[in-house]
Homo-oligomer: A and B are copies of this chain.
Amino acid sequence: MVSHPRKGSTAEIRMAKTKSQDRSMSRSALRRLREKEIRYNTILKAAENLFAKKGYHRTSIEEIADLAEVSTGAVYFYFKNKEDILIKLMHEIGHQLRKLLGEELQKADFSFDSFQNIAFAFLRDFCLSQPEKLAIFFRESAGRSSEVEEQRKQLFIDLTQDIKEAFIRINEEREKNSVSGFAPELIAVCIVGVYERIACHYFLWKESSKEDVEDIAQKSVSFMLGGIESLIKG
């Protein structure tokens, strides 16, 4: 399997220049490394498209290989098996989502604006512009093997945890009430639920457009802020 190629590849390339003998070696080695990474991503991207379009089970390895312009064997060089592709995809999307939200959550306070920003990040930069990832994260990854389900569960829990922690932080900053009624986990679960269903309802089922995003964002933020306030006050 590919040793997760997320290492600063450009840095490696620069260093390789200095060493004399290595040079030719490095060059081809580096090229191969780069090509491997490219292949890996090509296959992943092909799978993403097909899973989103045809569904996980109705997509065969051969189709993925064809779209990625590699052999079926090559797919098995880069991934343990079919399920592994789905899991890798899920994680990639999960990481991306957490990063997307994480950045906004960092700067967030209990202002309407910071919530609005989060909502926009999710609706515009994820749901609207990457519907394939949406379909895989919220639809195709559900109802598979227990292995997939386990990983999926963990991803959702991580996501929920991110939100929960952000709330705790924000609340501490406010320094007012660590009053009884405050339930960060449940708040996080509710928020994830709201966004999940909005994603499915408006972007997988109805095909909402850019114009709708504004309205959805505003209203959902209003809803959630109201909910949070209500819970904080106990």
Q: A residues engaging B (CB < 8 A)? A: 55-58, 139-146, 149, 153, 156-157, 160, 181, 183, 186-187, 189-190, 192-198, 200-202, 205, 216, 219-220, 222-231, 234
Can you spell out 10 A-B residue pairs with CB atoms less than 8 angstroms apart?
Answer: A156-B205, A157-B205, A181-B219, A186-B219, A190-B198, A190-B220, A193-B194, A193-B197, A194-B194, A229-B230
- Tell me which residues across on chain B come within 8 A of A234, comparing CB atoms: 222
- Tell me which residues across on chain B come within 8 A of A56, comparing CB atoms: 143
- Tell me which residues across on chain B come within 8 A of A216, comparing CB atoms: 186
**Number of copies of chain A assembled together:** 4
Choose one: B58, B196, B231; the contact of A197 (CB below 8 Å): B196
* A160, B198: Cα distance in complex, Å: 12
User: Is there an interface contact between B193 and A219, defined as CB atoms closer than 8 Å?
Assistant: no
Given A181-B222, A186-B219, A187-B223, 12 further pairs, Cβ under 8 A? A55-B143, A139-B142, A143-B143, A186-B216, A186-B220, A186-B223, A189-B194, A189-B198, A189-B201, A194-B194, A223-B228, A224-B227
